[in-house]
Amino acid sequence: MRKLNPALEFRDFIQVLKDEDDLIEITEEIDPNLEVGAIMRKAYESHLPAPLF
């Protein structure tokens, strides 16, 4: 059984999310202690695309 590189599998997963418009890239600086959790919760509760920081 051939084992694939997990990093490549992750890249493929991210590409699938992008292709299906199910990923939003957060490019501006945020506070990791306060804003990351709030953004994740809002995305989950509102069925928004997955945030990628």
pLDDT tens column, 2-22: 566 766 788 888 998 999 999
* Residue 43 to residue 53: CA distance in whole angstroms: 13
Residue 23 scores a pLDDT above 90 = yes
DSSP-derived letter for residue 37 is: H
Please give the mean pLDDT across all residues of the chain: 90
Distance between CA 33 and CA 39 in Å, rounded? 11
pLDDT at 32 over 60: yes
Total domains, the chain: 1
For residue 42, tell me if it sits in a domain: yes
Tell me whether residue 27 is in a domain: yes
User: Is 46 a member of any domain?
Assistant: yes
Q: Is residue 1 domain-resident?
A: no
Query: Dihedral of CA 27/31/37/43: which sign?
Result: negative
| Domain housing 27 | 6-52
Q: CA 10: distance to chain centroid?
A: 11
- 16 within some domain: yes
26: confidence class by pLDDT, cuts 50, 70, 90: very high
pTM: 0.71
